[in-house]
Structure 1
Amino acid sequence: MMDWDFLIDIFQQLLGGVPLTLQLALMALAAGFILAVVIASAASSRYRLFRWIASAHIETFRGTPLLVQIFLIYYGLGQIPGLRQSVLWPFLREPYWCAILALALNTSAYTAEIIRGAIQAVPASEIEAGRACGMSGLLLRRRVCIETTASGAQA
């Protein structure tokens, strides 16, 4: 026989955590997306060092479980004496900010791979056409790469 009073009590307790969960998720997704754009740009850079750093970030955070990352960030960063003396310590000693950092780093690795793959899927002829029209750098990425992949996703 089910204990409905117990189930209702537990459900109400779980509902109390929904606002914090949504707040953590939204902040981590926003920070993760910003970081993912930087990492995807580094992954498609012509400089080997930037590609290596991006690849190391992606492989590290995609290759380890999220729970391990959270434990290492929350319990591990406090073991570094120089970090405890830095201006970052007031943030990194709080579980809230450690959770956002861990979730953002994890999200950025997966999202960076998606963005990098989308950029690489743009045909070279379209990039050449954009360059022939005088586009360079960010304008080329925004108008050719992003708009092409967005219109291709809608089709």
Structure 2
Amino acid sequence: MDWDFLIDIFQQLLGGVPLTLQLSLLALVAGFILAVVIASAASSRYRLFRWIASAHIEIFRGTPLLVQVFLIYYGLGQIPGLRQSVLWPFLREPYWCAILALALNTSAYTAEIIRGAIQAVPASEIEAGRACGMSGLLLRRRVTWPIASIEQGQQGRCNSAVP
């Protein structure tokens, strides 16, 4: 085994760790923000918003991430109007295309998690909040979101008390 070669390759790989962490962090933050918007649209009372959210979720969960990266990096450059727009200085850079692809992919998966957690909130809890005079953002902030975060955290646990 050629240890010098392996050490050299390992050092080269370690040089990419900061960039990988930076891409991951930015994509996760942007993806979470977008996921909250998409999950809100998915549970909206307006059919158009629900349709747009479900289309986003189905497209980005139904295609491989590598295909999404290729389509964003190579495909968007084929649109002449986009090359003339303000977005082109960002979209021609692989760094920003990678963040966009990772954020869109992350947002689709995270939006489904958020939507499922919000739908798991018992209707009686929401009804009780409305009976107390809460509506809109106050109801979401004090009832729906705290219960949804607890429900989402308990989904991975086994409810069985058998030792």
TM-score, normalised with respect to structure 2: 0.87
SS at match of 1:51: helix
Deviations 1:22-63 (A, max 9, x none): 000000000000000000000000100000000000000000
Compute the displacement of 1:136 (Å): 1.5
Structure 2 alignment gaps of length 5 or more: 144-158
Tell me the distance in 1 between the aligned counterparts of 2:87 and 2:133: 43
Tell me the distance in 1 between the aligned counterparts of 2:105 and 2:132: 38
Residue 45 to residue 154, structure 1, CA distance change in 2 (3 Å): farther
Residue 34 to residue 60, structure 1, CA distance change in 2 (3 Å): same
Compute the displacement of 1:152 (Å): 15
Tell me the distance in 2 between the aligned counterparts of 1:154 and 1:63: 38
Tell me the distance in 2 between the aligned counterparts of 1:154 and 1:55: 39
Aligned to 1:84: 83
Tell me the distance in 1 between the aligned counterparts of 2:116 and 2:162: 17
Compute the displacement of 1:142 (Å): 1.8
Residue 154 to residue 132, structure 1, CA distance change in 2 (3 Å): farther
Aligned to 1:65: 64
When structure 1 is superposed on structure 2, of 134-143 and 18-27 the one drifting more is: 134-143
Compute the displacement of 1:153 (Å): 16
Structure 1 alignment gaps of length 5 or more: 145-150
Compute the displacement of 1:80 (Å): 0.3
RMSD of aligned alpha carbons: 2.9
Aligned to 1:98: 97
TM-score, normalised with respect to structure 1: 0.91
Compute the displacement of 1:64 (Å): 0.1
Tell me the distance in 2 between the aligned counterparts of 1:41 and 1:136: 16
Tell me the distance in 2 between the aligned counterparts of 1:134 and 1:105: 37
Aligned to 1:147: none
Compute the displacement of 1:139 (Å): 1.8
Give aligned-pair identity as a percent: 94
SS at match of 1:152: coil
Task: Count the aligned residue pairs.
Answer: 148
Residue 114 to residue 46, structure 1, CA distance change in 2 (3 Å): same
Compute the displacement of 1:154 (Å): 19
Aligned to 1:153: 161
Deviations 1:74-102 (A, max 9, x none): 00000000000000000000000000000
